[in-house]
Amino acid sequence: MNSRKQLLSRLRGIVRHQAFIPTTIFVGLVAILVVSATLTAHPPVIESVTPQVGYPGLVLLIRGNHFGPSRGSSEVSFAGDRPSTSAYLEWTNRRISVRIPENATSGFVFVTKANERSNGVLFTNKSSLPVIVSAGPKPGLPFIQSITPASGTVGTLLTIKGQNFGSVRGQGKVYFTPTSVADQGLPAAQIPNSPNASPVADRFSGCGCDFNYVNWTDHEINMYVPDGASSGNVTVATDRGTSNSAYFEVAVQVGTKLYKDRRGYQIEYGMQISKVIADPDGTIDVWMPALSEDLSQRDIQRVLSPEPLWDDFRGVMRYLFDNLKPDTTYSIDITYYFDRYAVETRIDPSKVSGAYDRDRELYRVYTSSDALVPSNDPIIESTARSVVGSEKNPYLMALAIYDYLIDKLHYDASATSEDPVESLTSGNADAYDYALLFTALARSVGVPTRPVAGYIVYGDKQTSRFYWAEFYVKDFGWVPVDPVLGSGVKFGDFPSVPDPKSYYFGDIDNQHIAFSRGVIQLEPLDPHGKTVRKKRMFSLQTIHEEASSGVSSYTSFWQDAKIVDWW
């Protein structure tokens, strides 16, 4: 009984002690934290990794849950290999972005947090996949012995050594592995071999408008890595055949370019010549625009009636009509079948360099004034300097010019200025003026830029001649810009985007059809003949028709492209 009283007395003393309440609160909080941690702690879970097959140096996106709000001491491992601290670009509870280590091997990717490891998801180092390379040269066929350097960015100057390339290039081409919809982590409907797959080119040689070829001899080719190239096999094709494959690694440093949302088209266009009055030796040459071929417009098939005299000359086709008769109509009919992709670019401006190769023909041509782009006009030069200020980053300079034109100009479809400078001073411009002004202003401050001519497609297969532009970023390639649609102008039921101003600086949809990239400079064939340039055509070229001195008169009619079908 006494012991019981003593125990109660001691308890009353503890409760009455001034430290009792704080101690009780502290113990309670610790208990709550322990219980809470027990109830809420979850091991990390990986739902997907993109890409599942990739190269060291690329960014791997890991999606899942319970990664934690920040990295802390957590980490990612690639088949046991751990990236450096600087390789981590993003870490949130549901997303991790990390550069693939240089020595990463194929195997499972894990996320480890507080000594708890996630499930593993298989990643394959693409460089470990087999690359088929011929054992040796075959008689007469071109053969690649080496490519120097073995890796580089878009725009890197390559030396390809070997044999049987031919003493002149002629129709020879160097083919690269293209950036394709298959490599971008897209839905299954857009990946080859899926039930609803879209065709994807397995090789491409770049656009002739980029002037990629520098030198071509029988034993050596010097050329620039074309825009759109990705790591993979390189081959040389000539009239003798196709070479063995050699591997080239394309580094991704500035950003990424994605081709998506395929749309198929069948289009027709043409022209007619009639009522010709000419001498027996009179001739008429017609330079017909050809559809621009690049990775945004690929898998091209065509039907030409008649066949051109020159099939591909700087992006146009030459037709020659002779033995001309006044009661005869001469026609050209062209049909194209092709796939058009939307283009989406994602660029880190902090990684953009202004150190262009100023000796490269691409730079010299697309920073110079020409027949349609008055980049050396004093008003253009002073305006551009005022707009970009002290900015030296080409990407940010182009963005400043884009924003300026959207704020400065009012879209007027009926504008018919002879010179884009007139539109700059009046404030009214159509798509033609917008494109040429953007190009001229950007060129005047040293950013390689070119106008693009073609059509936009909308409504019930309606087409409208249209113009936009693209500027070149070192180590990356071309970036599309459409200041008209970026300003919010509507064309019928043309698809709208939530933020057109942001979207149309860097992205372009699959309802732009391109015929010419840059101004196609053509020279007269007959110094005594008469040339005709059609204004505001769907191809920006200096000559469309040329009549020899033996032709007194004729009538020509050009048909706009029409959509026969789309899918």
How high is the pLDDT of residue 411? 95
Write down the domain spans for the chain. Answer: 2-40, 45-128, 143-253, 261-341+531-566, 357-517
Parallel/antiparallel/unpaired status of strands 53-54 and 121-125? parallel
454 burial (CB, 10 Å; 0-12 / 13-18 / 19+) is: buried
Q: For the chain, which ranges sit under pLDDT 70? A: 1-41, 127-136, 180-202
Q: CA geometry: angle at 291 spanning 470 and 265, to 5°?
A: 100
CATH 1.10.10 fits 261-341+531-566, yes or no: no
Parallel/antiparallel/unpaired status of strands 410-411 and 428-429? parallel
How high is the pLDDT of residue 415? 84
> Which CATH number among 3.40.640.10, 3.30.930.10, 3.10.620.30, 3.40.50.620 corresponds to the domain 357-517?
3.10.620.30
> Residue 535's closest CA among 420, 366, 437?
420
How high is the pLDDT of residue 194? 33
Task: Tell me whether the CATH fold assigned to 45-128 matches the one assigned to 143-253.
Answer: yes
**CB 299, CB 270: distance < 8 Å:** no
Helix axes 431-444, 378-388, angle to 10 degrees: 70
CATH 2.60.40.10 fits 45-128, yes or no: yes
C-alpha to C-alpha distance for 263 and 511, rounded to whole angstroms:
8
Give the H/E segment covering residue 97.
strand 95-99
**CB 179, CB 295: distance < 8 Å:** yes
The DSSP annotation for 227-287 comes to TTEEEEEEEEEETTEE---EEEEEP--SEEEEEEEEEEEEEEEEEEEEEEEE-TT--EEEE
How high is the pLDDT of residue 107? 80
Return the DSSP state at 351.
G
How high is the pLDDT of residue 89? 86
User: What six digits make up the tokens of 398?
Assistant: 């182009």
How high is the pLDDT of residue 496? 87
68 burial (CB, 10 Å; 0-12 / 13-18 / 19+) is: middle
**CB 88, CB 98: distance < 8 Å:** yes
CATH 2.60.40.10 fits 143-253, yes or no: yes
C-alpha to C-alpha distance for 90 and 75, rounded to whole angstroms:
12
How high is the pLDDT of residue 127? 65
**CB 449, CB 435: distance < 8 Å:** no
**CB 480, CB 506: distance < 8 Å:** yes
Give the H/E segment covering residue 564.
strand 551-566
> Residue 432's closest CA among 453, 446, 403?
453
> Residue 212's closest CA among 227, 223, 228?
223
User: What six digits make up the tokens of 386?
Assistant: 């005022």
How high is the pLDDT of residue 182? 34
**CB 291, CB 368: distance < 8 Å:** no
C-alpha to C-alpha distance for 339 and 336, rounded to whole angstroms:
10
